[in-house]
Amino acid sequence: MKTYKITPQGLDEIKRQMLKKGLPILVVAAIVGISISALNANNSDSDVNVLPFVIPILALFLGFSIYRTVKKQAEIFQSYELTIDEFAISRAQMNLPTAEIPTVKIDSIKRVSTGSLIVSGNGFQILVPKQLQDFAEIESKLASFNPITEFSNSRFKKLIPILPFAFIALMLVTTIIENAIISLILGTLLLAGLGYSAISVLRNKNVDARAKRAMWFVPIVMLAIVMNIVLKFFDGV
């Protein structure tokens, strides 16, 4: 039996990947938020411009959020432990239930585009990051249990990275558009997407408890979207 952990260099690489993926989404969300505030200010009768106050506060909030999120995720990955013996493969990680797959119950081992592996079986999916120590040794051991195949992304799954930007764009259009019917159609698509995403996260065994708790804010966002659409219909009466 041998236990593998992520190397310090691998942890730095994971941090860079998180920033690369998360920073653009936060920046776009901030731009959308500022745009909505600016449009609302232009439509308001008030002479007070709140943007000079909002922008610095928003920048500080985003900076703190990025720092805290990356630090927390780094702690989670640092706690990652993969144990392999002739009978089972198990993964222990902070905020996640321990996942164990007996070697005789491994259904598949797939290599994703990043070079990491996903081991499926026994109702679990175990992510094996390429940043683990002695990764070549891990590959050799896993290949002795089940052939390693390349993961083939469907067209839909290839679109997953752009979905956050699509949600943000829909949020912007739904908020600023004056036509109630179009707002209803786009808002319905947005609500369906948000609901599906939240349910998927809550059901995923590989998502930590903190991320799942954050999903309970989604109903608040959905309620705000519904109220925005309803108000547009009342304005048209």
Q: Which tokens sit at 37?
A: 């505030």
Q: Among candidates 70, 98, 69, 65, which has minimal Cα distance to 83? A: 98
Chain-centroid distance, C-alpha 212: 11
Using pLDDT thresholds of 50, 70 and 90, give the confidence band for residue 219: confident
Contact 28, 168 (CB under 8 A): yes
Backbone angles phi, psi at 168, to 5 degrees: -65, -40
Check if the beta carbon of residue 132 is closer than 8 Å to that of residue 115: no
Residue 110's pLDDT is 92
The answer for residues whose C-beta is within 8 angstroms of residue 204's C-beta and 6 or more apart is none
Sorting pLDDT into bands at 50, 70 and 90, what band is 48? very low
Residue pair 31/157 in contact (Cβ under 8 Å)? The answer is no
Domain ranges for the chain, please list them.
153-237
Q: Is the pLDDT of residue 154 over 60?
A: no
CA distance 165 to 211: 19
- In terms of pTM, does the model score above 0.75? no
| Res 42: pLDDT | 60
- Cβ(109)–Cβ(95) under 8 Å? no
Asked if residue 161 has pLDDT above 90, the reply is no
- DSSP state, residue 178: -
Reference 63, options 94, 26, 16, 18; nearest CA is 26
